[in-house]
Chain A
Amino acid sequence: MNAVVFSPSDMALAAGLVLLTALASFALAIGLQRQILWAGGRMVAQLLLISLVLRHLFAPGNGWLAPGLVVIMVLAASHEVWARQRGVLPVRIGMAISGAAIGVSTALVAGFAMAALHGGEGGWQARFLIPVTGIVIGAAMNAASVSLHAFLSGIRRDRAAIEAMLALGRSRFQALFPRIRDAAHAGMIPTLNQMAGAGIITLPGVMSGQLLAGQDPVAAATTQIVLMMLLCVVAALAIGVVLLLGLLQVTDGRARLRLDRLGAPK
């Protein structure tokens, strides 16, 4: 089967549709036209740039550069997780928490994929490492940012309830458990939706990509299934780490709620 390759004129047509969307936003006074155009432009520039980087990286003898790219991706994702908290966490602490969550979860899951999957053969090649790690980091980033946001805003909202439990002699883990549970639920929803809807409501990205690239549907589905399972695990790990560190940030060793360590949401 031949791979489907879009031509520059295809891209121009698709860009025209985005332009129409922005025009509609302007005409209807929705006010999203600048964001649509800016995000669209960013997406085009970023993807073209990364495609050139990957072409270079996949060239024989250049695979040693791949870990460097992974580190950059982890740092960028950590910054996004911190930025989604809208200034509630100081930048150094926010970057440390989100970096640890994304770094640890990605290292474990991507490391497992590299070492154990694909029969362990060729797993460390850049052509396998970069796409798998990229997908894994994306899932970790979404799960960590959503759950951390839910956790921090829930703590502020339920301060009186949390302090009531602490005053009655509950540990900080007991007092914050309802907030941890809700935040974990919120963080897992996108992944759970993705898994539950796969094949019925949507064709997931990797499978669609492989079909476009001419892959056999069953083989494409198998790849997607394995990746989806990795995404579920990495999301859970990222949530676990980000909430544990978040808990330590908003409480102290004397089991006190320390909202003074948080900034006001912007």
Chain B
Amino acid sequence: MTATLRAQDVTCRQVGPVSLHLRAGECVALRGPSGVGKSTVLRALADLQPHGGQVWLDDIAMQAMPAPQWRRRVRYAAAEPGWWAPCLGDHFRDPAAQAAGLQRLGLPPAILDRLVEDVSSGERQRLALLRAIEDQPQFLLLDEPTSSLDPDTVARVEALLRDLLAGGMGILLVSHDGAQATRLADRIIMMGGQGG
């Protein structure tokens, strides 16, 4: 059976109700003006924020699954990723296994030995993406994954995302870049009463 993430009438504070579904291998872009609540919806789908409505992974309701297990399958990657250890390599379960991913995103292997504050925001953003996909979640909720990157690096990230989609991962993408949404997404959902 193809994995599906479904949300029905999800509300959170002033946001929603939002209903959507996302299949394995599908990319859906969530678009709308700043402040409309796109990030809030992603956080609610990852169960990082109290919310109304229902969310299912296949036929399993979110509430029926322990939250950590849910988040290992439905992974939220924040626009401004957090870091809990001084060294970047300490944020990966298996730093040695990251060589291929680092190369694909144009990062030197030695970057994992560096301190968080010693690398640029663009480098941190790419490392956060690698960290988010390290244990192969079924669905990836990406919040502005390329906002700090130059066009060449954006292309590298998008190529990686296409491979993840081809491998069966479902991606819900929040991006202010309309062209990026068009390039990656199978469908676009507009928030803020603009329909679509």
Chain A interface residues toward B at CB < 8 A = 158-171, 178, 252, 254-258
Contact = CB atoms under 8 A, between A and B. Distances in A.
B129 to A, nearest CB: 12
Contact of B47 (A158, A162, A254): A254
A158 B116 CA distance: 14
Contacts of A171: 68
Contacts of B69: 169
Contacts of A164: 78, 81-84, 128
Contact of A163 (B68, B72, B82, B128): B82
A166 B48 contact: yes
13 contacts: A158-B82, A160-B82, A160-B83, A163-B78, A164-B78, A167-B77, A168-B135, A169-B72, A178-B84, A255-B67, A255-B68, A257-B48, A258-B50
A20 B76 CA distance: 61
Interface of B: 46-50, 63, 67-69, 71-72, 75-78, 80-84, 128, 131-132, 135
A256 B48 contact: yes
B82 A162 contact: yes
A162 B48 CA distance: 11
Given A252-B50, A256-B67, A165 B78 contact: no
Nearest to B63: A254
A161 B117 CA distance: 14
The 7 closest A-B pairs by CB, nearest first: A160-B82, A169-B72, A164-B82, A161-B82, A161-B84, A255-B67, A254-B67
Given A167-B75, A167-B76, A169-B72, A159 B67 contact: no
